[in-house]
């Protein structure tokens, strides 16, 4: 399941300080270390989405055993499910699945960048100056690379998503993908299995985040 928060403009400073006292001290300190208030909020909301999702789907309350895999991907050592977090100034998302998962959320790019180590020649030809195509393909590559636990540190131009540019769901390389547009941003999910269905996303607003205080 994927949980998405795209209501940052309505999550006030008062809401932030109301909720920050509800999370573990280590996580609160990580959020507070961010210089800008919007980044403090995004860091907190990402953690709250994780708490909300794993409690709803697995009934898990204890998430104290955080660790990181190679390339820094977080996981819970005592749990058999996988999760991934992504955030931008447009929104925050958390994907939780039984199999390894990666996700990415991005606002429509302000410009098309030269990223030949990421895009295949077919993708480059398709993108041209199209910012929507660029952003969608970028989120797909990011989701895939996070699912594989290496991030955008390796060349990905041998992988070609060009023929899936108009599809919201598809399968390739033994993985299932979801990629959608909403409210001026794109988001993508990659699950490392064709046996596990990609479920419908759950969108949350500020009032949903505030209600979590009673559940933590």
> Mean pLDDT per 10-residue run, the chain (216 residues)?
94 94 87 94 93 85 66 68 89 94 95 92 96 97 91 82 97 96 95 91 92 69
State the CB neighbour count (10 A cutoff) for residue 99.
15
Q: According to the model, what pLDDT value does residue 72 have?
A: 62
Domain of residue 152, CATH code: 3.90.470.20
Q: Please state, in angstroms and rounded to a whole number, the distance separating the CA atoms of residues 188 and 209.
A: 22
Q: According to the model, what pLDDT value does residue 62 have?
A: 66
Q: According to the model, what pLDDT value does residue 63 have?
A: 66
**Are 156 and 137 spatial neighbours (Cβ–Cβ below 8 Å)?**
no
Domain span including residue 197:
2-214
Count of domains for the chain: 1
Q: According to the model, what pLDDT value does residue 59 have?
A: 82
Model confidence, pTM: 0.90
């Amino acid at each position: 399941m994927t949980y998405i928060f795209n209501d940052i403009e309505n999550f006030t400073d008062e809401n932030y300080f109301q909720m920050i006292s509800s999370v573990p001290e280590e996580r609160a300190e990580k959020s507070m270390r961010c210089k800008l208030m919007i980044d403090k909020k995004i860091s907190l909301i990402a953690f709250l989405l994780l708490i909300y999702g794993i409690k709803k789907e697995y009934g898990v309350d204890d998430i104290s055993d955080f660790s990181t895999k190679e390339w820094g991907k977080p996981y819970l050592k005592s749990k058999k499910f996988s999760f991934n977090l992504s955030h931008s100034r447009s929104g925050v998302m958390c994907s939780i699945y039984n199999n390894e998962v990666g996700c990415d959320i991005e606002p429509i790019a302000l410009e098309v960048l030269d990223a030949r180590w990421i895009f295949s020649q077919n993708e480059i030809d398709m993108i041209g100056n199209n910012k929507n195509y660029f952003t969608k393909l970028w989120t797909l590559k990011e989701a895939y690379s996070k699912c594989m636990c290496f991030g955008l540190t390796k060349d990905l131009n041998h992988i070609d998503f060009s023929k899936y540019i108009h599809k919201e769901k598809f399968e390739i390389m033994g993985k299932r993908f979801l990629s959608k547009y909403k409210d001026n941003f794109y988001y993508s999910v990659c699950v490392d299995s064709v046996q596990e269905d990609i479920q419908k996303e759950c969108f949350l607003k500020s009032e949903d985040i505030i209600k979590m205080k009673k559940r933590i």
